[in-house]
Structures are given as C-alpha cells and as structure tokens.
Structure 1
Amino acid sequence: MTSVTSRRLRPRALLACGAGLAVTAALTLTGAAGAQAGPAAGSTTVTPAGHSFAATLNGKATFKAGSVTATCTASSSQPSADPASNRIPDAPDNHNPSGPVSSSINPPTYSGCTASIAGVTTTVTTSGTWRVSMQYGSPISATLSIPVGGFVLESKGLANCTITAAPDAPADIVATYTNGAPSTLTVANATVPVKVTGGFGCPTSAKSSVFNAVYDITDTTDPASQITVSD
C-alpha cells in the first residue's frame, strides 16, 4: 500500500488527491427509474495535452467519521515512472465533445495526521488505481474515483480503530475545479462510504465519512504552464 494523499486532474497538468492526497471529475447524472433524463453533458478540454501534473495539499485535509475527526497536514499525488498516471491525455483525447476527460492518478499520500481522540497516533495509507475526471461547466466539476479499499485510516493507542473508505465498491469524491495559477481542486463536505472496525472509542456505527481538502494542481512537464479545463 502506498502512504495516502486530486477537478482538474485532467486539466492542463492536473489531480490525486487523496492521500491527498491527492487530487477530480465530471458527474454523470442518472435519473431514478421512470424519471426524465437530465441534460446532456457539454464538451470538455484539458490542457496542455500530454503534460504531467501534480496535486499538492494547500492547508489541511480532514476526514470525519462519527465523532472522530482526522486531520492531515501534508498530502500529494505525484507523477511516477508509470507514464499513464498523473498525465493529461494526448490530443485529441484531451477533448471530449460530450462529457468529461479522465485520467488515472497515483494514490495520494498523507502524512502529519492526527485524530480528535486523545492518546492515539494516526496513519493513512492508499492503494490501487485512482482516477480523476473533469467536466467543464459553471462551476467546473471534478470527480475523484477511489478503488475498493483504496483509502485506510488507522489509529493506535487508547483507541485502535480502522476506517476503510469504499469498503465494498469503488466510490467517487465530488469536487470543484478552478482554473488559475495554480489551479485548485476543492473538496467541500464530500461524503464517502466507510467501514469502521475497532473497540472502545471507535465510531463503528458510522457508515460514511466527510472529506474536506484543497489541492493545488501544477504542471510538472512545464512549471510555467497551468493545468486548465475549458469547453
């Protein structure tokens, strides 16, 4: 497993996370049975095509499950030897005329983590293949997809707890992307399904966690360029 950390991952240079971290994506609207389908997604272009990107935590990332809140002060998703990860697709695949642009990202790493429970140490690990999808709009939407069991938070000490995100199926973290210098990926009160195990002091009844974080998305191929999402 990789120590944990991605909406603009797809943009010019992208996002990642988590643990993040890393880090996001376009939303596909699915109507309930019998409901009328929503409007078709518009076009999306992420530039610069073929450039690699990094997502670096700006501030703190927090994860709240039940009465327990974990806070991490460092998180990032960085390019690696795998040329397919943390990379905007080459042209023309960096443009989608009717939907989001997606790419795989390395699991975000997380460090400097503490918990609201006194007397415990906290670690976050991530694993598997993560993805980020960007959809142009107002605002620009991003979706960070976590694989099954791809994020695990553990506390040890007075309370020995394990919080596993996406325990049974892949899960999406919905975020917004803002073009800029650098561009940012903002996760605000995103809900992610979790499974909590452990003894006294562990929020074992919690079925979801609330995630908050802001990531700077930078172009690692050309630091003078910005990762940008447009139509």
Structure 2
Amino acid sequence: MSFPRSATRSALALAGAGVLVLAWGGSAVAAQQGSTTVEPAGAAFSATLDGEATFETGPITVTCAVSASDPGDGNNLVPDEPDNHNPEGAVGGPINAPNFDDCEADVPLVDVEVEVADAVWDMSMQDGESAVGTMHVPAAGIVVTTSGVASCTATVSPDADVDIEGTWTNGDPVSSLAFDTTAPIEVEGGVGCPDDTEAGFTAAYEVENADDADTPITVGP
C-alpha cells in the first residue's frame, strides 16, 4: 500500500559553522506484551500535534508548530472486530505519514526541504502498565535537504525500518500519544555537515475519533 509524498519548506537549522539540525524519535518505552484491545472497532482516527514538536541535535533546538496524520485512502483506521483485539500482543494497522510544517530554528537564514517517504507506515498499540503507541517508520522515511550555509542531506534510518515508541494515555473524548525519543540518522554532504549518528524528538499528539468526536479512541486489555 502506498502513501502520499509530501515536501515542505521549513526552517530547521545549520548552526555556527553550519551544523545541520535534524531529529526524529526512537524507543524510550520498554516493549510490553499481553492482551490489547483498541476501541471503537472500525473507527477512523486523526493524530494532531498538541503544542510544538521539538527536534534536537546537540545545543540546537528546532520547533515545528504543525504536524498531523489524518485518515484517508483506507488508512488511520482501528481494525474491525475481531481484529481490534489481540490476546497476545499489539493491535495496529497502516497510517498516513505525518507532515511537519511551520518549523523554526534558533539559527536564521537556512532553507530546508523535508520529504516524507512514499512507503508503508503503520502504527501499533500495546496495552500495559503504561500503554505504548509505536510508529513504524520505513527505511529512509524522512529525508531533509538543506541549502544556504551548507548543502547537507540527512536521512532517518536509511537502511532499515525504525520503531518510534511513545506513551499512550486514554482520554475522553481525546486521547494522547507523547514521544520523547531518539533514532539513528545518516548525514551526507560537504564542508559544514555534521557526523551525528543519532538525534532526538519530543512531541505530543491528540488522537481523536474522526467519525464520532464524542467517542474516544482507547487502548485497553
């Protein structure tokens, strides 16, 4: 199944002598096993950034004000019964790749293109003492290319899919998924491009039932 490709102009950063700032999330929540049920079965859901997404590499901070994954093309759906329940593990399915827009960095005069891969993305939910939402990002799922101070290309996990785990909290009527994580990156380019191999990402998303706003999307046993 394919997903839409999006390219956005944003303001990530090249700091000082031209250090590229890029980040994405990695696992910060221990893997859990056990029964999981996501409700309501068959509901479409959206995930919308609550506040700002913060990207960090070293001393540089980048914030993005807009990020969302919306239903469409048969994606962002809670599985129908009985597949919305798994007695031995997580429940999940395909999602539309999130966008990142209205980004700003603490270093000006940098032009950045952010491209989201046209590939399979999916999300799984696992109940537990702390429920976990895991976004499965395809290899090279996000590529950031800079121009201006330095010409660099940064790729998130270029050679393998990567799992990005966040903490899920049931709400009424809006649940939340919070990321505070790290993931591998690869940076290519000339003078001024860094040799960073890992970067960090924090963000909180509001997850809402797109079919019935009064009925929350919940994760339970």
Summarize deviations over 1:67-122 as a string: whole Å, max 9, x none.
54432110000111x21x10000000000001010111001011111234332023
Say whether 1:183 aligns with 2:187.
no
Q: How far apart are the structure 2 equivalents of 1:63 and 1:125?
A: 16
Q: How far apart are the structure 2 equivalents of 1:122 and 1:95?
A: 42
Say whether 1:218 aligns with 2:197.
no
CA contact (8 A) 1:43 1:95 kept: yes
Report what 2:12 is aligned to: none
Structure 1 unmatched runs, 5+: 5-20, 30-40
Q: How far apart are the structure 2 equivalents of 1:116 and 1:168?
A: 30
Say whether 1:44 aligns with 2:48.
no
Residue pairs, 1:169-208, within 5 angstroms: 169-180=160-171, 181-188=173-180, 190-203=181-194, 205-208=195-198
CA contact (8 A) 1:118 1:158 kept: no
Q: How far apart are the structure 1 equivalents of 2:112 and 2:59?
A: 15
Select which of 2, 23, 28 maps to 2:6. Answer: 2
CA contact (8 A) 1:56 1:215 kept: yes
Q: Work out the percentage of aligned pairs sharing the same amino acid.
A: 42
Report what 1:118 is aligned to: 108
Say whether 1:57 aligns with 2:61.
no
Q: How far apart are the structure 2 equivalents of 1:79 and 1:103?
A: 12
Q: How far apart are the structure 1 equivalents of 2:141 and 2:40?
A: 29
CA contact (8 A) 1:3 1:110 kept: no
Q: How far apart are the structure 2 equivalents of 1:173 and 1:163?
A: 18
Q: Please tell me the root mean square deviation across aligned C-alpha atoms, in Å.
A: 2.1
CA contact (8 A) 1:66 1:206 kept: no
Say whether 1:145 aligns with 2:136.
yes
Structure 2 unmatched runs, 5+: 9-23
Q: Structure 1 residues 50, 27: closer, same or farther in 2, change over 3 A?
A: farther
Once the 2 structures are TM-superposed, how far is the Cα of residue 182 of structure 1 from its aligned partner? 1.0
Q: How far apart are the structure 2 equivalents of 1:68 and 1:27?
A: 28
TM-score using structure 1 length: 0.79
**Counterpart amino acid of 1:52?**
A
Q: How far apart are the structure 2 equivalents of 1:207 and 1:49?
A: 40
Question: Which range moved further: 153-162 or 88-97?
Answer: 153-162
How many residues are paired up?
197
Q: How far apart are the structure 2 equivalents of 1:162 and 1:63?
A: 16
Say whether 1:132 aligns with 2:136.
no
Report what 2:17 is aligned to: none
SS of 1:90's equivalent in the other structure is: coil
Q: Structure 1 residues 44, 94: closer, same or farther in 2, change over 3 A?
A: same
**Counterpart amino acid of 2:167?**
T
CA contact (8 A) 1:114 1:121 kept: no
**Counterpart amino acid of 1:210?**
G
